[in-house]
Amino acid sequence: MISVIVRTKNEQKWIGRCLTAISRQAFPDVEVIVVDNASTDATLDLIRRFQVRLVTIPDEAFTFGRSLNVGIEASKGDFIAMVSGHCIPATDLWLYRLWRNFQLDPTVVGAYGKQEPLPDTNSLDKRDLLTVFGLERRVQEKDYFFHNANSMIRRSTWEQIPFDEEIAGVEDRDWARRVLDAGHKIVYEPYAAVYHHHGINHGGDRSRADRVVRVIELIHSGRTEDVKREADLVKREAQDVRR
């Protein structure tokens, strides 16, 4: 079984399209868990139209890592796919194309897919998405880049190395650092694509960019304790920002 964890926060524009695309996946055994962070729009009403499990997490308890851990704890699959509520799988083979990387190589513990812009995505976000997410599959043994807007991991690895619940952002890159340092591999799979409207930098949001840079620099330097101290500050800055 594959468990799909969808994180949402006021995603009424996108969540119906996201869940519809997931429901059409050409994979025989799939469950969907939506982890919602205190949505105040029509997101919850739209979610309840689908056969999914809904888990809620309040603002005061939210971090990106905690929301993923909560969703995975509620799931049953041996493989865990993660997608943001404003991302739309591009084809009905999205899950299969992520999953097959684990069948090709038992040392692969994580895979992440391409993110493509929509026609109305602004030019800055289009530039970032087209630059970062290339056309060639890549096996990573040292590169810490990983992106949970479109990814899959082994449950057995998560049980040993869960997501850090204290880091306010880029929990995906922190996780990648820890699994690669433990001798595992992650894969970039360009054929497992999603459409991502605002891209990876939220249209040039300067405060989010500064926050991400601070945490990534600490992660890459291996200063784990500094990352945790920084998290208290950047979490306050990020209260109204959701991936």
Residue-wise pLDDT for 216-227, tens only, equals 566 556 655 555
**CB neighbours of residue 69 within 10 Å:** 19
pLDDT given at position 210: 60
Domain CATH for 230 = 3.90.550.10
User: Taking the mean position of all CA atoms in its chain, how far away is CA 46?
Assistant: 21
Say if 147 falls within a structural domain: yes
The domain tally of the chain equals 1
Say if 184 falls within a structural domain: yes
pLDDT given at position 79: 99
Residue with tokens 């595992």: 184
- Which segments in the chain show pLDDT lower than 50? 235-236, 238-243
The whole domain housing 140 covers 2-237
Query: In 53-170, which ranges are continuous DSSP H helix?
Result: 64-73, 94-104, 123-132, 155-160
pLDDT given at position 241: 45
Say if 243 falls within a structural domain: no
Say if 134 falls within a structural domain: yes
Say if 242 falls within a structural domain: no
Say if 155 falls within a structural domain: yes
Q: pTM for the whole thing?
A: 0.85
Q: Supply angle C-alpha 99, 57, 186, rounded to 5.
A: 25
Say if 181 falls within a structural domain: yes
